[in-house]
Structure 1
Amino acid sequence: MDLPLFFLMFLIIYLSAHFILFRNWASKLRSEAASCLISLAHGTPAVILAYFAISAKEKFSFADTNTVFQNTVLEYSIAYFLMDLCHYIVFNPSDVLFIGHHLATLFVFVTCRFLVFHGAYGILMLLILAEVTSFCQNVWTLSSALKGESEFARQVFDVLSPPFYAFYSVVRGFLGPLFVYKMVGFYVSGGADNVIPRWVWVSWICVVVAAISVSILWICNQWIELYRRRLVVGDKEKKIR
């Protein structure tokens, strides 16, 4: 089992970011940057690993037995979410939304990996859809946190926001729901009832639907905030003229 090694890896990255790379940053920014760094170490690699773990098989099914490689990718993500959960419990215990998200995500990954040993195809596809925006989101998050102190960060934030929002909207607002629709159709038809207990896949679907709903709400709020910022800038330019 690779889970302890993966967790140790994320712990080392987190501590290195907190006490070495960002040691001169303010405490709150330092912890947020450390969280972003382990997210960067997880997101894009997880997408690549999940893609190869899925494409290694010619045919896919939501009821397939997990392969060894698929289990390894699941453990990689479990380790990351455990590490980031520790971060939120220590530094942001009031952020109930993110803590709840991490706990729910861990439930899905852990039950797929250690309880039913089936269904990794669907879970890893959802992982790809969730993490494909990770790099952009972490750069956006860091630039947002620093934009009040750095002109460069503010420029990165302003330039990155519209394409990031558009990319996120397509993935979370269209591709994610479309895949979940196919996933629900398969499970409701009974295609996995002999290998995945009904309560397990129903729980998975509930978690995924809730996560996608929150993501859509979040990106809608970001679009609204962007529109408001553009209105403020437009009003200032009119006054200058």
Structure 2
Amino acid sequence: METEGVFQSLPALPLFLLMFSIIYLIAYFIVFRNWSPSIRPEASSCLISLSHGTPAVFLATRAILAGQNRGFAASNTVFQNLVLDYSIAYFLMDLLHYLMFFPSDLIFIGHHSATLFVFLTCRYVVSHGAFAILFLLILAELTSACQNAWTLANARKGDVEFAAKLYDFLSPPFYALYSIVRGFAGPYFVYEMLVFFMTGVADHVIPRWVWISWIGVVLMAISVSILWVSNLWLELYRERTKKLEKKMR
């Protein structure tokens, strides 16, 4: 109870936002200072993503397991709200990154805006449903470390031999894990959420317009993810086919 009181007294969201801002600036001006200006912003975004993704999986898992009520419409615990603030701060920082450097990337801007809507309504509007939202966060961030390493390797594969080898090595397992999580585990969990909310038992704590919007946002995110990884599989197939044809000549 004393720990929860400390958490409640801390201005968590501004502190987390400051933390991710500092990490981004360190990445841009120190860690990746010798990288090409065209890829430094993307690399800096990857570093804050790494700082958020894997820790978020462990934090969200702890927040879920520590809560006594794990229903889809259960009230948020203090620690669950803290984890939501942690993720809200990351997505706000990364959204600012896209608005500054890639304002025409409407897919990512839309994705981050929609994700923020879900987190913010869960945290500050209804104060219920964190169990479901954090479980989805775990599924979304399970591939974070691998994806960011793959993205950084992809950015430098044209001029660094190690990066090219790392990219080739990571691509198949990353695509496979991403496909399983986003193509099977995610949709199944959303289906369970939909079945529960359609009974109407949660309408008194999570209004219908809120949970319908949550389901809609998650389904759109999953659809885009499946389309993205499908294109990556096709690209990988083409690359491997070309290499095989060259060897056979």
Q: Could you say whether these structures have the same fold, taking a TM-score greater than 0.5 normalized by the shorter chain as the test?
A: yes
Alignment of 1:1-241 (within 5 A): 1-239=11-249
Following superposition, the deviation at residue 204 of structure 1 comes to 0.4
Deviation at 1:57, TM superposition (A): 2.4
Cα displacement (A) at 1:191: 2.1
SS of equivalent to 1:26? coil
Displacement over 6 Å in runs of 4+:
none
Distance 1:59 1:114, change over 3 A: closer
Structure 1 gaps, min length 5: none
RMSD over aligned CA atoms reads 0.7
Q: Distance in 1 between matches of 2:39 and 2:195?
A: 43
For structure 1, which segment, 49-58 or 201-210, has the greater mean C-alpha deviation from structure 2 after superposition? 49-58
Q: Say how many residue pairs are matched.
A: 239
Amino acid at match of 1:212: I
**Aligned-residue offset at 1:148:** 0.3
Take 2:25 and 2:105, find their aligned partners in 1: how far apart are those partners? 21
Rounded Cα–Cα distance in structure 2 between residues aligned with 1:108 and 1:194: 18
Structure 2: distance between partners of 1:94 and 1:174: 31
Unaligned runs of at least 5 residues, structure 2: 1-10
Give 3-state SS (helix, strand or coil) of 1:27's partner. Answer: coil
Which whole-Å deviations, capped at 9, do the CAs of 1:148-196 have from their partners, x for residues lacking one? 0111000000011001111111100000000000000000011211101
Deviations along 1:28-84, whole A, 9 cap, x unmatched?
211111000000000000000000000002441011000000000000000000000
Q: TM-score, normalised by structure 2?
A: 0.95
